[in-house]
Chain A
């Protein structure tokens, strides 16, 4: 069964550095999402992306964050000038566009550790 893949599985970065988290959604999916989960806390929505643009974003998704679909397969989350509080598990998800009410498929996540 096709699956969403995320790389790397664990990323360690110095505070202030830029980091790019990568996701390869399922090939015929058109909606893409990023979520984060700080250790011991609930999952939080960051952003949704459709038709090469952001369709929704949360308050967390400020100017520090950006998303891109640089080619036909990758979907990336960039965090500029990382902060300690950016340490979390970041999940990518994708879903088909039709028929309606398609479930999301999640990647296994990237654990981001900011030192």
Chain B
């Protein structure tokens, strides 16, 4: 049983394309997290949100609490955006992770 489901699993885009990664969750959450994992393995927290929308540079994260769905958008994608993007749901101090979306942006 997967509490967090992501799609697509793999994504290849041309530089400059608009990218959307989707996340659905089945647990009641206190927050929804988007993380970026680089090829070397390091993890960076991109967003933590419990409602609405957040924007940071070319990255936008949205969440619909009623539908238990979140999206991560990347505008004007660039090869340096190539990484694995992970959705995680937190309930208090317990965390459930998606399997990640592997994004490759081609120049």
Residue of A nearest to B6 (CB): A42
Q: List residues of chain B with CB within 8 A of the CB of A50.
A: 93
Question: Known contacts being A42-B100, A101-B31, is A31 close to B93, with CB within 8 Å?
Answer: yes
Of the residues B31, B42, B93, B99, contact of A106 by C-beta under 8 Å: B42
Residue of A nearest to B38 (CB): A108
Q: List residues of chain B with CB within 8 A of the CB of A28.
A: none
Question: Known contacts being A101-B31, A101-B50, is A45 close to B94, with CB within 8 Å?
Answer: yes
CB of A109 within 8 A of CB of B42, answer yes
Residue of B nearest to A108 (CB): B42
Any chain A CB within 8 A of the CB of B86? yes
Question: Known contacts being A42-B98, A42-B100, A101-B31, is A48 close to B93, with CB within 8 Å?
Answer: yes
User: In the docked arrangement, what's the CA distance between A33 and B86, Å?
Assistant: 17
Q: List residues of chain B with CB within 8 A of the CB of A108.
A: 40-42
Any chain B CB within 8 A of the CB of A76? no
Q: How many A-B residue pairs have CB under 8 A?
A: 60
Q: How many residues of B contact A (CB 8 A)?
A: 25
Any chain B CB within 8 A of the CB of A74? no
Question: Which of B41, B86, B92 neighbours the largest number of chain A CB atoms within 10 Å of its CB?
Answer: B41
Any chain B CB within 8 A of the CB of A44? yes
Please list 14 pairs of residues, one from A and one from B, whose beta carbons are closer than 8 Å in the complex, sorted by A's number. Answer: A41-B99, A42-B98, A43-B86, A43-B88, A44-B97, A45-B94, A91-B43, A101-B48, A102-B48, A104-B48, A105-B45, A106-B43, A108-B41, A108-B42
Additional pairs, 14, CB under 8 Å, beyond known A106-B35, A106-B42: A41-B99, A42-B97, A43-B35, A43-B37, A43-B97, A45-B94, A45-B95, A48-B93, A48-B95, A50-B93, A103-B48, A104-B33, A106-B44, A109-B41
